[in-house]
Structure 1
Amino acid sequence: CEEDVAKAMEKALDEGRIAGAVALHYPFPLGVATIGRVLTPGRGKPMIIASSTGTTAVGRVEAMVRNAIYGTAVAKSIGIENPTVGILNVDGAQMAFKGLGTLKEKGYPINFGASVRQDGGSILRGNDILAGAVDVCVADTLTGNVLMKMFSSFTTGGSYESMGWGYGPSVGEGWNRIISIISRASGAPVIAGALEYTARAAAGRLSEKVAAEIAEAKKAGLDAVLEGLAPKPAAAEEEVTAPPAEFTDEEIGGVDVLSIEDGVKVLWKEGIYAESSMGCTGPVIKVAEKHLERAEQILKEAGYI
């Protein structure tokens, strides 16, 4: 039965008789997630999805920062020496990018990739993941799980997973077991790919790679960055009145959608009329051209961009 097989797998891992395993299900503890790998249809390029099952943190933004670190470690374990990393344009992406940018400024050697769009940048859109623009695509687990299923089963109309390497090996701080996940919808090609992926990660000393990446990130101030990204307790909302309306002909990007209205009110408090809007590439704050430079400085000092 499944329970006996699971116990045998656990025993073999504990005794070191196997370096890794592929399973249909595993009850990972909080803080551990799996890092999937897909074949992108645009250019036939493999791409890592960080993460695809489990969760590396309770908070969405912290999880995405950790996913970038763990995804980098997995990529290195399978032979990608300096993997490019991009963050999918979902809620929290800008905040995660800001946190990772702070780590990079302080010495963590993350290698940001670029969008295939003309404006570039490391925030990824739909066409970027179809093209496999980066080696590691960072997302929250729920989004990553959807991407895994879409990329793996689009050739079958969703009936079963026919392409890719499965939901990937497990990673987490202090976690040293390499257990990869497939689903009940995974076809033979995906199961074979998952076995290969797991073997390569194990041979590449994945657990050591994860520990090394975490150590590098901590030297660059990971704990402080994550503390700054943690959700703050809700406080009584201050009543702020908008200044007189004026024509807003400039846009300020890089503000996370979850913080966009707060950013607008910060500018109102400083006497600058501003509006929130959704631009082609994400949320923006609109201001008059004459206020642009000062508004950007205020938002930067307040931590919004």
Structure 2
Amino acid sequence: MIAISARGLRKSFGEKTVLDGIDLSVPAGTILALLGPNGAGKTTAVHLLTTYLRPDAGEIVIAGHDLAKSPQAVRRVIGVTGQFSAVDGYLTGRENLMLMADLHLLPKAVGRQRADDLLERFELTEAAGKAAATCSGGMKRKLDLAMTLVGDPKVIFLDEPTTGLDPRSRRVMWDIIRGLVAEGTTILLTTQYLDEADQLAHRVAVLDGGRIVAEGTPAELKTRIPGGHIELTFADRAELDAAALVLAPTHRDDDALTLQLAGDGRVSALRSLLQRLDDASVEVEALAVHTPDLDDVFFALTGKKGA
């Protein structure tokens, strides 16, 4: 089942075209990471898919509901966590959750139980009785996501959910996101962190110039980019010179005593390489395999580093 479907999505502001006919398809129970440079239209795409904005053209279907015909039905099955926290700093953690329960028209008893369950699940019991403004950034972000879940959405849009978090808090958030998907939730994620997309996403779509310029699994996208290489480090200059005569390095660094050779790190190729050096009685101090990552993919597709 396709949980998020967009076809021919277009949006302009005045004479500026932000989205120029993009297509997106996200199967239920998976994560799609939408990447793109600043100003590429990622947030605009999220706003269109979540009914905040109307597209100039195109069709959107969320969890089986046509957004143009049934926007209220779409709103009932989605949750949104934006770039900026929706947490009310004057309210306690529990009060923030109860506010969301009221907005979802849940009976009081159901709302209290939902709030208690989410506080425990997100390890937010410490924040339950104190003003959210006094909580750490990580706790606020977790509370923000917990508030999104009060309505038990089938589809969640996470717009840069870990911006500003320390590494440990980011890891905690990743575990929470993985847990949601394991339960069948569908997630569209925009992020500034390419390692985050690599860790979480089943598929990645790269948005640039208002168009989707590439889409695939992280592994598939990496295979499109040349640049994998093997780096050999030697103990001294003599070993470096000897290795350079045996091999055909693409780069040599006399100061670092390293040679680089083109290669994708396949075991058979590494075994053959080491055998050639062994036959020539050349000792290798260290070996490292470097393969393209999503940052390389992003740079190659958009001409920019980072999202």
Q: State TM-score, norm by structure 2.
A: 0.25
Q: State TM-score, norm by structure 1.
A: 0.26
Structure (1 or 2) with the greater strand fraction: 2
